[in-house]
Homo-oligomer: A and B are copies of this chain.
Amino acid sequence: MNYLTNACVDLLREVRIKNPLIHNITNYVTVNDCANAILAIGASPIMADDVAEVEEIVSISSALVINIGTLNQRTITSMIIAGKKANELHVPVVLDPVGAGASSLRNKTTQEILSEVKIDIIRGNLSEISFVAGLSASTKGVDTSKADERNDAEAIAKSVANKYSCVVGITGQVDVISDGIRVAKVANGHKLLSKVTGTGCMTSALVGSFCSITKDYYTATVTGITAMGIAGEISFIKTREMGTGSFHIGIIDTLSNMNSTYFVERAKIDETEY
C-alpha cells in the first residue's frame, strides 16, 4: 500500500467523525443520488440554490460543489455569488462542468464561473476537461465523445491544473488527478458506472466531502474518485447480472460501507512525480 492509499484511509475515517456540511448547487437529475452519496460517505448534504440564501448557506458549510448539469439563468447567478462568498471564507469550491463542450450556454457558464470564482477542484470527464483546457472538445451530450478519448488525459489534467492553480480530476477508464506537478492515476472502477446517470456527479460530491476536511485537495480528490471506483467494483460483484437498477443501489450501499479494508485491498493508485 502506497502513501496515497494510506492518506485516503485517513480522510475516510476523518470525514465520518467530522460529518461536515456540504453545500451543493446542482442539477435536478442526480440531486437525490448526490445527497445520498454524501450521507453514505459520512458527510451531510444541503442543497440550496436561491440567490437569497446561497451566501448564508455556504457560510455554514465546509465545502461548495457547483454542478452545471441542468443550468438555468436563475442558478447561474447563485453559483457565482455562492462561489465568491466561499472564496472569501476560504471554503473549498469544486466545479463539475457537466456537458461543457456540448452547448454555448455550458461553455460560457463554465468560463464565467472560472473567471469570477477561484475554483479549487475541477472534476469532469475527458471531453469536459478538454473544453476547459481550451481544446475543441466534442462532448457527446454529457458523455465523453469517441474523438476526445484520444486526448492525452495526463497532459490535459496538468495543463488545466496549472492554468487555474487548482486540482483537476479527469474520470474515465483510468482516472487522472493532478495538482499541476504531481499526477495520480486510479485504475479502479467498472464499465457499468457509465450506464447509471449521476455517477460523475456523485464523484464530485464525494470529492467535495473529502476536500471539506483537509487543505490537501489533491489527496482529497484522489480519495473521492477512488471511493467511487471501488464502489463500482464491489457493487458489480454483489449485483452482477441483476441489472443497472440494482447496480445503482449497490453503489450507495458500498459507499455507506466504505472502509479501510476496501481501500487497502482494492485501491489501484499510481503516482508519478515530475
Binding site for B on A (CB under 8 A): 21, 27-33, 35-36, 39-40, 44-50, 52-53, 56-57, 60-61, 69-74, 99, 102-106, 140-143, 195-198, 241-246, 248-257
Contact assessment for B27 and A29 in the assembled complex, using a CB-CB cutoff below 8 Å: no
Q: In the complex, A99 Cα to B60 Cα: how many Å? A: 12
Contact assessment for A44 and B143 in the assembled complex, using a CB-CB cutoff below 8 Å: yes
Beyond the given A28-B31, A32-B198, A245-B251, please list 20 additional residue pairs across the A-B interface where CB-CB is below 8 A.
A21-B140, A21-B141, A30-B35, A32-B32, A32-B197, A39-B244, A40-B244, A45-B197, A46-B141, A48-B71, A50-B70, A50-B71, A52-B105, A56-B102, A60-B141, A241-B257, A243-B250, A243-B254, A244-B256, A245-B252
Q: In the complex, A104 Cα to B50 Cα: how many Å? A: 12
Contact assessment for A35 and B29 in the assembled complex, using a CB-CB cutoff below 8 Å: yes
Contact assessment for A39 and B73 in the assembled complex, using a CB-CB cutoff below 8 Å: no
State how many angstroms separate the Cβ of A121 from the closest Cβ of chain B.
21
A255 proximity list for chain B (CB < 8 A): 243-244
**Residue from A74, A106, A245 with most neighbouring chain B CB atoms (10 Å):** A245
Of the A-B pairs whose beta carbons lie under 8 Å apart in the complex, a sample of 20, sorted by A's number, is: A21-B140, A21-B141, A28-B28, A28-B31, A29-B32, A39-B195, A45-B197, A48-B71, A48-B103, A52-B104, A53-B71, A53-B105, A57-B141, A60-B141, A72-B74, A243-B254, A243-B257, A245-B252, A246-B253, A248-B249
State how many angstroms separate the Cβ of A101 from the closest Cβ of chain B.
11
State how many angstroms separate the Cβ of A23 from the closest Cβ of chain B.
8
Q: In the complex, A122 Cα to B250 Cα: how many Å? A: 35
Contact assessment for B39 and A197 in the assembled complex, using a CB-CB cutoff below 8 Å: yes
Contacts known (A36-B196, A74-B72, A140-B21); A103 close to B253, Cβ less than 8 A: no
A57 proximity list for chain B (CB < 8 A): 102-103, 141
State how many angstroms separate the Cβ of A256 from the closest Cβ of chain B.
4
Instruction: Look across to chain B and name the residue whose beta carbon is closest to the beta carbon of A21.
Output: B141
Lowest 8 CB-CB distances: which A-B pairs, in order? A243-B253, A245-B252, A53-B105, A46-B141, A245-B249, A35-B197, A244-B256, A53-B103
State how many angstroms separate the Cβ of A40 from the closest Cβ of chain B.
5
Contact assessment for B40 and A243 in the assembled complex, using a CB-CB cutoff below 8 Å: yes
Instruction: Look across to chain B and name the residue whose beta carbon is closest to the beta carbon of A197.
Output: B35
State how many angstroms separate the Cβ of A237 from the closest Cβ of chain B.
13
Contacts known (A44-B140, A70-B47); A104 close to B53, Cβ less than 8 A: yes
Q: In the complex, A156 Cα to B129 Cα: how many Å? A: 50
State how many angstroms separate the Cβ of A133 from the closest Cβ of chain B.
21
Contact assessment for B50 and A73 in the assembled complex, using a CB-CB cutoff below 8 Å: yes
